[in-house]
Chain A
Amino acid sequence: MSVSESKGGIKLQNSKVRRGDIILEGRGICKDFPGVWEHLVLDHVDISIKAGEIHTVLGENGAGKTVIANILSGFYSLSEGQIYAKGKPVYLKSPRDGIKYGVGMVHQELALVKPFTVAQNIALGAAESDLFFPIPEIERRVRELSKKYNLYIDPKSRIEDLSAGEQQRAEIIKVLYHEPEVLILDEPTSLISVDAEHLFVVLQSMAAMGYGILFITHKIEEALQIGDRVTVLRLGKHIGTRESSKTDKSELVKLMFGEHTPVHLERKPVKSEKVVLEVKDLKALGPEGETALQGISFTVREGEIFGIAGVSGNGQSELVEVITGLRHATGGQIIIHGKDYTNHSPGDIIRAGVSHIPEKRREMGVIEAMTVAENVVLKDVRVYPFSKGSFLNLPHITQHTNDIVSRFGALVSDLWKSQTRILSGGNIQRLILGRETWRMPKFIAAAYPTHGLDAKAIEHTWELFMQLRESGTSFLLISEDLDEIMALSDKIAVMVRGKIVGIFDGARAKREEIGLMIATEA
C-alpha cells in the first residue's frame, strides 16, 4: 500500500472520485446463519456510502446493523447480493480484502491485541516484510495521524493500560493507517459516553476531507445529529433511507418501531413502612484496593424503588457487589428483613430473597458456553420441579424456559442446542430479567438493567419493574441514564466518589437539580 500524503486531506486512491460519488455500495444483501437462526439476519438490504458524507445506520438490537457493517468490511461473507466498490462488483472474502478496497472498520468490541503497544498493533496489519517492522516509522506516522485528525494517542503505550476512549482512538488510528476511503464505525459511542462530542467533531472533519463514513447506532438523537443520511433497519429489513435534514425524531421512531409508543409511569405511593434493606455506614474497597465506598447509609422500604444516580465508576458497582455478597465489606452493616447479612455468601443472600441483575451481563449474568435453557434455570435447578432428586427435569425446564423466552420476547434459536454466547447483549438481558424476576422476589438489585437495550425493550423492562413494585418488590436501581432513574424511582440518591451526597423524593425531584449535583460534587 503506497503511503500518499497530501496537505488538504486524504488523497483518494482513485483520484476520479469526487465528493458525493458512491464509493461503496451493497445491493440486495442477504445473510443467514444456518443452524443458528431460522430467519434471514439481513433480508435484501441496500446501502450506499458516498464520499464526503456521514451515513448513519439506525435500528434496535437485532436489527442487523453490526452484520451489515461486518459484511461491508469483509469480515463476514454474504449469502446473497453484491457489493460494489466505486461501481465495480467486488468479492470480499476477508478483512484484508476490505482493506484492499479501501474499507476500514472500527469494531464495537475493539480488534486490538491487549498486551501489545499501539504501534505494534498497527504493525500487525501493515504490509511490510515479515521479518522486520519499522516501529519508529510507524510511531512517527501514528503521531502524524494523531495530530492531523485530532485523536491524541501515545504510540508507545500498551493497549491494556489505556482507557476505553483511548483504546477507541487507537483503533481508529489503526484503521486510518491503511488510508481507507470508507470508515465504518460500529456503535462507537457505546464505549465512550463522555467523549462522544469529540468523536463527532473528528468524524465531521474527516467527512469534510472526503471520507465516506458509515456510523452505526441505536440512538436516534445521535443518528440525526451526525448523519447526513439515515438508513433504518428493522429485524434485518431495510425500512428506509432519509436525508437527516428532511426527517425528524418522530418519523425515525416510526420507522424503527413501526408504531408510536409513549412512556408514562404512574404509581401509587409506597404504602408499607416495612424496611426490606437497610445499609449502615457501608465501606468497601475497589478492585485495585482503592477506597470505593466511604460510608454509605440508606433504607429501602417494601414496594419502593430506590434509584442511585451518578456517573458510573463512583462506587455503584462495588455497592451492588457488596450487597449481593460478591465483595467484602470493610465496614458497616447490611440488614435484609431485619437480619444482618454483612459479608454473607452470595448463596445466603439469594436465599434471603435478593435477586441480582448484574452489570456485566455476559460475564456475570450468564455462562456463555451453556445453552439458553441451562442459563435460564441456573439459579433454580437445585429445587423441585426443576430437578427430581439428582436428575434434571427436562420437560419442566423446557416448558419454563419457553415461558420466559416468549414472555420477554427474547430472540433465541434453540433452547437446548445453541450456546448463549451467540445471542446479542439485549437478548441475553431479556433472559436474565426473566430469570431474576419470575419468582417475584422481595428485593432486586438491578445494575444498569436497560443499558444497551433498544427503546422497546427498555419500555418493557420499565413496565415489568412497575408491575413488580405494585406487587411489593423493592428495588435498588443503578443507572447512568437519568431519565430512567427519574421515570422509575420513588427515591433518588446521588452518588459521587463512594458517598451519597443527596437524596431526593422521586415525584418532586427536578432533573436539573440532580444533574447539577452530579456535575458539581464530582
Chain B
Amino acid sequence: MSSLYLWGIFIGSLHAMVPIILTATGETIGESAGLFNIGLEGIILFSALTGALGAEAGGPIIGLLVGIGTGFAIGSIFGLINSYFKGVQLIAGVGINLFSAGMVAFWLIHLGVPGHHAVPEESRLIDLYTPLGNFSPMIIVAILMPILVYWLLFRTKLGLKIRAVGENPQAADVAGINIYLVRFLSTAIGASLAGLAGAYISVDWIGSVTKEISAGRGFIALATVVFSGLNPLLVLLGGFIFGFFDSLAVWVSTMPAVQRVIPWQLVSMAPYIVTLLIVAGVIGRVRFPAAMGIPYERE
C-alpha cells in the first residue's frame, strides 16, 4: 500500500517538474547570453491563458504552440527593450509580471465562471497509458529539453557564441558576433519555453486557468537556474526536487489522516522553503556570466 503511495507521489513529481524544467532550461539560454528575465512568472501565467484559449479553438497541440508563441512574443519585447534599447532588465521583467497579472485577471472575468476558467476535457492533451500508470507526453519533452540545450550551449558554435556574449561581449564583438541579435534571440527563445510551460499547466496538467495558476513557478525556475549554475543537466535535477515536494504537498492535501499529524498548509510551503535553502546553499559557489545584466555599448 505504502509503495503505491510512493509511486503516486513519484508520478505526481514528474508532472510537477515539467513547467519548472522547461522554464529554467529556457532561462538558462537567456542568462548564458547575459539577460536575466525576472518576468518568467508573468510569461507562464499569460501563456496558460492563451494556451487554454488556443486549445479550445484548435486542439491541445495548437494550445501548446500558442503558448510557445506567446512566450516568444513577450520574450521578444523583453529582448528588444534590454538588448537593443539597453533597458534595465529588472524593471522590464517586473513590467511583464504586472502586465500579465492584470491582463489575466481582466480576461478571466469575461470567460465563463469569473476568476476560474476550466479547459474542457476534449481540448486537453491525452496522457500516455502504460502499465505503470498514465503519463503526460510532456514529461518526455521536459527530460529531453535540458539535454538538447546542454548540447546546444556546450557542443555547438552557436552555444559558444551565446556564452561569449554573456561572458565578454567586447571579445564577442571583436570576433564579429552580432551581440544584440544573439542576446535578443537567446532571451526570446528562452521565453518561448516558459510559454510552453504555461500552456502545459492549463492544457495538460491542471486543466484550468486562475490568476494564481503560475503559483510562483517562474521564480522557482529562476532559483533552479541559480542552483544549476547555468548547467541544463542540473536543471533537470533541480526541477525534479521541486516537483517532488510539490507532489508531496498535493498528496498530503488529499490525505485527511496525514493532515491530522502535519497541517497541509505547512507541507505546501515545502517546495518554496526547499528552494530557498538550496539557493542559499549554492550562492557564492556557482559562477555566472561576467556581463550578466549589463547592457553592451561599444563606444
B173 at the A interface (CB under 8 A): yes
Picked from A77, A94, A113, A123, the residue with its CB within 8 Å of the CB of B157 is: A123
* Interface segment, one of B174-182, B202-210, B270-278: B174-182
Interface set, chain A 87-131, CB cutoff 8 A to B: 94-96, 99, 105, 107, 109-116, 120-121, 123-126, 128-131
Bound together, the chains give a CA A167 to CA B246 distance in angstroms of 48
Q: Which residues of A contact B (CB under 8 A)?
A: 33, 75-77, 94-96, 99, 105, 107, 109-116, 120-121, 123-126, 128-133
B160 at the A interface (CB under 8 A): yes
Picked from B156, B168, B287, B299, the residue with its CB within 8 Å of the CB of A111 is: B168
When distances are taken between beta carbons in the complex, the residues of chain A under 8 Å from B173 are 75, 94-95, 111
* A113-B164, A129-B157 known; A121+B171 contact, CB < 8 A: yes
When distances are taken between beta carbons in the complex, the residues of chain B under 8 Å from A112 are 168, 171
Q: Judge whether A130 and B158 touch: CB under 8 Å.
A: yes
When distances are taken between beta carbons in the complex, the residues of chain A under 8 Å from B175 are 95, 111, 121, 124-125
When distances are taken between beta carbons in the complex, the residues of chain A under 8 Å from B161 are 124, 130
Return 28 A-B CB contacts under 8 Å, by A number.
A75-B173, A75-B174, A76-B299, A94-B173, A95-B175, A99-B176, A107-B174, A110-B171, A111-B174, A112-B168, A112-B171, A113-B163, A113-B168, A113-B171, A113-B172, A114-B168, A114-B290, A116-B167, A123-B157, A124-B164, A124-B171, A124-B175, A125-B174, A125-B175, A125-B176, A130-B156, A130-B157, A130-B161
Bound together, the chains give a CA A395 to CA B105 distance in angstroms of 51
B110 at the A interface (CB under 8 A): no
Shortest distance from the beta carbon of A16 to any chain B beta carbon, whole Å: 26
Residues 30-71 of chain B, each 1 if its beta carbon lies under 8 Å from chain A, else 0: 000000000000000000000000000000000000000000
When distances are taken between beta carbons in the complex, the residues of chain B under 8 Å from A123 are 157, 160
When distances are taken between beta carbons in the complex, the residues of chain A under 8 Å from B176 are 94-96, 99, 125
B136 at the A interface (CB under 8 A): no
When distances are taken between beta carbons in the complex, the residues of chain B under 8 Å from A113 are 163-164, 167-168, 171-172
Bound together, the chains give a CA A111 to CA B299 distance in angstroms of 15
Select from chain A the residue with minimum beta-carbon distance to B290. A114
Q: Which residues of B contact A (CB under 8 A)?
A: 156-158, 160-161, 163-164, 167-168, 170-177, 287, 290, 298-299
Where chain B touches its partner, the secondary structure class is: helix
Select from chain A the residue with minimum beta-carbon distance to B166. A113
Bound together, the chains give a CA A129 to CA B161 distance in angstroms of 12
Shortest distance from the beta carbon of B297 to any chain A beta carbon, whole Å: 11
Of A95, A114, A120, the most chain B CB neighbours within 10 A belong to A95
Bound together, the chains give a CA A105 to CA B290 distance in angstroms of 23
Select from chain A the residue with minimum beta-carbon distance to B299. A76
Bound together, the chains give a CA A134 to CA B175 distance in angstroms of 17
When distances are taken between beta carbons in the complex, the residues of chain B under 8 Å from A107 are 170, 174
Picked from B156, B163, B174, the residue with its CB within 8 Å of the CB of A105 is: B174
Bound together, the chains give a CA A179 to CA B157 distance in angstroms of 20
When distances are taken between beta carbons in the complex, the residues of chain A under 8 Å from B167 are 113-116
Picked from A76, A110, A124, the residue with its CB within 8 Å of the CB of B160 is: A124
Shortest distance from the beta carbon of B160 to any chain A beta carbon, whole Å: 6
* A114-B167, A133-B156 known; A95+B299 contact, CB < 8 A: no
Q: Judge whether B157 and A131 touch: CB under 8 Å.
A: yes
Shortest distance from the beta carbon of A232 to any chain B beta carbon, whole Å: 25
Shortest distance from the beta carbon of A486 to any chain B beta carbon, whole Å: 39
